[in-house]
Amino acid sequence: MDASLQRLNVHLASVQPSATYRMMDRVAARRAEGANVISLSAGEPDFDTPAHIRAAAIDAINAGHTRYTPVAGMRALREAVARKFQRENGLDCSWQDTLVCSGGKQVIYNALAATLNAGDEVIVPAPCWVSYPEMVQLCGGRAVIAKCEHGAGFKLTPETLSQAISARTRWLILNSPSNPTGAVYSRDELRLLADVLLKHPHILVLSDDIYEHLVFDGAGFATIAQVEPRLAERTVTMNGVSKAYAMTGWRIGFCTAPRWLLDAMEKLQGQQTSGASSISQHAALAALEGPQDFIETSRRVFQARRDLMVASLTATPGLRCDLPAGAFYAFASCEGLIGRTSKGGVPLRTDEDVALALLEEANVAAVQGSAFGLGPYIRIAYALDDQALRQASDAIAEFASACR
């Protein structure tokens, strides 16, 4: 075969495959070999999609809503999205100010692809979700990682933001509650970041609010365009149904953003995937406009699971874990295991060694923190029932105690 046949796009060639999906694939492979793996690797709720939402999708199929929708999404869903942003986030938004995509990931990708040119910089506070820097790279930009210290609750401070800004800065990505740390920005913290951004009118803001409803201990959720309405003209406020309504597989994400940007994102999507699945859009409409009690029920369940998981991780020798304020991730330092050897004889030099040995020897899957820009940590998604979480924590404790 001619070697040049396999020449890839230069941006793709240097992109890392998604570390979360890589771990999920490893879990599938171990299970196919017959291993009984408890997976704390996938960041998705374990609940079924609520019955009324599933019924709406079946009704949509039977009613023949199985054809293309407008690229930007069905009018009824866009109206529901606008109502959601008004109702829950206090944003001034009409249906023309919205866009529906195939998952939150496509919202982010569309926004970056529509705006980035060579040399453009995107500030990514880290620890961060694995896909932000890679998407920036795919779109020809340069991710500028702004390190958020453990002592600052893994949150971006106004000082760190100011230092990261240059004349080439095109975007700042914010994610609260955060994947992987569970950190939640208060209104006051967003206010301080907004004050910095107001001094730099050339910067767009992408606010990934996908874990909005998973904020614990009675704390409230705020998004930056709400805290500082003057930023709305340069902010993409992104959300979706995946986490709030246990609908990860339905692939519906949405946003509100300035119209010039929505037009560009729609143009891109129209040449790429067209509108999101018509059936999933009907399901998302039922989710946004139907009963909302599922959200509170799942928040309570996740808060109890967080308490269970973090108590166990804290008691495990070699691990350290703060109580996260939101999302469904515990981000545990495994520094105490580094330099030691697992029971199975694996030298634990990095957090990836720890994650792989944990999978091989304890049948528990977690994702290494270094994939999220900070090691040595492991990210634990506690989106399983209490029994599975207890089993997993026992196995983690046994694994850690056996390291020499």
Residue ranges binding ligand GLU (CB under 6 A): 18, 20, 42-44, 129-131, 179
In whole angstroms, how close is the CB of 44 to ligand GLU at the nearest point? Answer: 6
User: Is 42 or 81 the residue whose CB approaches ligand GLU more closely?
Assistant: 42
Contact 373, 175 (CB under 8 A): no
In whole angstroms, how close is the CB of 159 to ligand GLU at the nearest point? Answer: 28
In whole angstroms, how close is the CB of 25 to ligand GLU at the nearest point? Answer: 11
User: Is 20 or 239 the residue whose CB approaches ligand GLU more closely?
Assistant: 20
By beta-carbon distance, which residue lies closest to ligand GLU?
A: 43
In whole angstroms, how close is the CB of 90 to ligand GLU at the nearest point? Answer: 26
User: Is 18 or 314 the residue whose CB approaches ligand GLU more closely?
Assistant: 18
Both tokens of residue 147? 């390190």
Q: Residue 220 and residue 198: Cα distance in Å, rounded?
A: 24
Q: Residue 19 and residue 261: Cα distance in Å, rounded?
A: 29
Of 122, 120, 119, 76, nearest in space to 100 by CA: 76
User: Is 128 or 283 the residue whose CB approaches ligand GLU more closely?
Assistant: 128
User: Is 23 or 261 the residue whose CB approaches ligand GLU more closely?
Assistant: 23
In whole angstroms, how close is the CB of 210 to ligand GLU at the nearest point? Answer: 8
Q: Across-strand partners of 172?
A: 123, 205
Both tokens of residue 225? 């365009």
Both tokens of residue 129? 């979700």
User: Is 44 or 59 the residue whose CB approaches ligand GLU more closely?
Assistant: 44
Count CA atoms closer than 13 A to 370's CA, side-chain side. Answer: 12
In whole angstroms, how close is the CB of 340 to ligand GLU at the nearest point? Answer: 27
Both tokens of residue 378? 């492991």
Of 228, 212, 229, nearest in space to 298 by CA: 212
Angle between helices 351-362 and 386-401 (to 10 degrees): 110
